Chain A
């Protein structure tokens, strides 16, 4: 059966046999870098066209349908346009920070990719504190956004960046708590261990209602953390033109745009790993024959299927719900999500101690 693990070991063996260890490692770095960038480019193209199609169908429209079959090359054409555009830097801007900010946002998105398990035995860095690493690194992106807003020397940008900062800092808490409730069950921060612990069923189904509640809280909180509607106050095009990236154009704007979609992918991948079993096929307890049939579907298809399901869910939110006000946004976090997830964490701990889960 085809698996990406055999492919990586093949490449690894060949490299270590042919080159000295240091050079082999260097080659592996290069291969991983190229693959990550290729994944980013592909995701950018796919997610943008997906977003536009989902938006159109939800709003009873057709969406892009002119470039390529059913408009599928629209995002490629847009990318070419963005590459050819001039990247302006405003006169009053802090030039260094202004040009640095999109790269910081992008680098954060790239770094978070490291511990994610894409398929069985196929991940960049199998680190024993994977989940902690992701939540630590992902909060750095707020620095990039604040930097962009501050250096633009524009009141809309600054307002957007400030809102974004407040939002990301507060929603980090409920993301952390809902992730913790799964960590309590697995007892490990390693993403591979978390996936393996779902061998006999996904945590969403195994851990009863508390898992469901923490899943809902996780989805709401990551929607807010990635600055997407209904929590897109930092962009809020009707109030702030485009928020923190008002002054950006050309490829620098595209980097922000791409980073948004990459962040969605990453948080959905984390959500899929924690609640829906990552690359683990759909297994039900001891149904050996059923589990065996499910194993025939390659693991990377399971992973991307679950991730894209969650991405679709978040897109569905975006095109259904109206934007919140700032006070409503903070009310939702501090008066509802945080207390509920705290109580939920206690219940989950009880479940884990008593062994009530399957």
Chain B
């Protein structure tokens, strides 16, 4: 019947509006739900999300060893040429040439933090750190070398 449908309409509309107002009213009265970070003020206690992508870093262990084999998968995966890998050839005791990384060049100023290099890395040598205060006064400082001086490939990583 028309009039029943009409009243049902009105009832449903009022109910759904009240549900919405109930939700916003809850947020209005519960200030602990506020998600605003007052950034420069809470710099000491700031907790960043684990998956926040700030910059690419290469992990080194206590023996100054990393897991980068110099395969250039990250360089190929990078959409805007942020990574440049320069390889060298070590001579092993048996007289064999072995490819190893010389310099892992990372241009922070070109990086869009897409994380494709991290996904492409077969040995999980690089990962995304969640630092984000990257401002510097000299553009040259944004071109970084990720492998530390005198670091070498971890044993057992191929």
Interchain CB contact under 8 A, A321 and B20: yes
For A320, list chain B residues within 8 Å (CB): 17, 20-21, 23-24
Task: Decide if B135 is an interface residue (CB 8 Å cutoff).
Answer: no
Inter-chain contact B31/A57, CB cutoff 8 Å? yes
* Chain A residues positioned under 8 Å from B52 (CB to CB): none
Chain B residues, Cβ within 8 Å of A54: 28
Contact yes or no, B24 A62, CB < 8 A: no
Residues of B within 8 A of A336 (CB): 9-10
Residue of A57, A58, A62, A320 with most partner-chain B CB within 10 A: A320
* Closest A residue by C-beta to B19: A320
Smallest CB–CB gap between B31 and chain A, Å?
7
Q: How many A-B residue pairs have CB under 8 A?
A: 38
Complex CA distance for A316 and B38, rounded to whole angstroms: 25
Q: Is A17 an interface residue (CB 8 A)?
A: no
A60 touching B10, Cβ below 8 Å: no
Please tell me if the beta carbons of A58 and B10 are within 8 angstroms of each other in the complex: no
Judged by a CB distance under 8 angstroms, whether A319 is at the interface is yes
The minimal Cβ–Cβ distance linking A221 to chain B, given in whole angstroms, is 15
Within 8 Å by CB of A316, from B25, B33, B34, lies: B25
Decide: B27 and A59 in contact? CB cutoff 8 A: yes
Asked whether B10 lies within 8 Å of A340 as measured between CB atoms, the reply is yes
Contact A61 B36 (CB under 8 A): yes
Contacts A54-B28, A336-B10, A340-B10; A60 near B35 (Cβ below 8 A)? yes
> What residues of A have a CB within 8 angstroms of the CB of B14 in the complex?
216
The answer to whether B28 and A58 have CB atoms under 8 Å apart is: yes
- Residues of B84-124 whose CB lies within 8 A of A: none
Tell me whether B28 and A61 are in contact (CB under 8 A). Answer: no
A316 contacts B10, C-beta separation under 8 Å: no
| B27–A57 touching, CB < 8 Å | yes
Residues of A within 8 A of B27 (CB): 57-60
Complex: A61 Cα to B34 Cα, angstroms: 5
Chain A residues with CB below 8 A from B38, complex form: 62, 65
User: Which of B9, B24, B35, B36 contacts A58, CB < 8 Å?
Assistant: B24
The interface residues of chain A lying within 8 Å CB-to-CB of B34 are 57, 60-62
Main secondary structure of the interface of B (DSSP, over half): helix
C-alpha spacing A320/B20, complex, angstroms: 6
Contacts of A62 in B (CB 8 A): 34, 36, 38
The reply to whether A57 and B28 contact each other, CB–CB distance below 8 Å, is: yes
In chain A, residues 39-67, which have Cβ atoms closer than 8 Å to a Cβ of chain B?
A: 54, 57-62, 65
Cα–Cα distance between A340 and B13 once the two chains are bound (Å): 14
Question: Which of chain A's residues have a CB closer than 8 A to the CB of B17?
Answer: 320-321
Min distance, Cβ B66 to any Cβ of chain A, angstroms: 42
Produce 1/0 per residue, B2-40, CB < 8 A to A: 000000011000100100110111011001011110100
Please name all residues of chain A whose beta carbon is closer than 8 Å to the beta carbon of B33 when the two chains form the complex: 60
B36–A316 touching, CB < 8 Å: no
Among A83-105, those with CB < 8 Å from B are none
State A319–B33 Cα separation when bound (angstroms). Answer: 17
| A316:B21 contact, CB within 8 angstroms | yes
User: For chain B residues 70-89, which have a beta carbon within 8 Å of chain A?
Assistant: none
Chain B contacts for A61, CB-based, 8 A: 34-36
Q: What's the Cα separation between A321 and B38 when bound, in Å?
A: 28
Q: Which residues of the other chain, A, contact B31 by a CB distance below 8 angstroms?
A: 57
- For the complex formed, measure the closest distance between the CB of A308 and the CB atoms of chain B, giving whole angstroms: 15
Closest residue of A by beta carbon distance from B33: A60
A336 CA to B17 CA in the complex, in Å?
A: 15
CB distance from B131 to the nearest CB of A (A): 25
State whether B24 touches A319 (Cβ < 8 A): yes
Residues of the B chain whose Cβ atoms lie less than 8 Å from the Cβ of A321: 17, 20
Docked pose: A320 CA to B14 CA in angstroms: 13
By a CB distance below 8 angstroms, the chain B residues around A216 are 14
Q: Which residues of B contact A319 (CB under 8 A)?
A: 24
Greatest chain A CB density within 10 A among B20, B23, B28, B34 is at: B28
| CB<8 Å pairs between A and B, sample of 25 | A54-B28, A57-B28, A58-B27, A59-B27, A60-B27, A60-B33, A60-B34, A60-B36, A61-B34, A61-B35, A61-B36, A62-B34, A62-B36, A65-B38, A316-B21, A316-B25, A316-B28, A320-B17, A320-B21, A320-B23, A321-B17, A321-B20, A336-B9, A336-B10, A340-B10
A-B pairs, top 3 by smallest CB distance, nearest first, are A320-B24, A62-B36, A58-B24
B contact set with A: CB distance below 8 Å: 9-10, 14, 17, 20-21, 23-25, 27-28, 31, 33-36, 38
Q: Besides the contacts A58-B28, A320-B21, what 4 more A-B pairs have beta carbons closer than 8 Å?
A: A57-B28, A58-B24, A317-B21, A320-B23
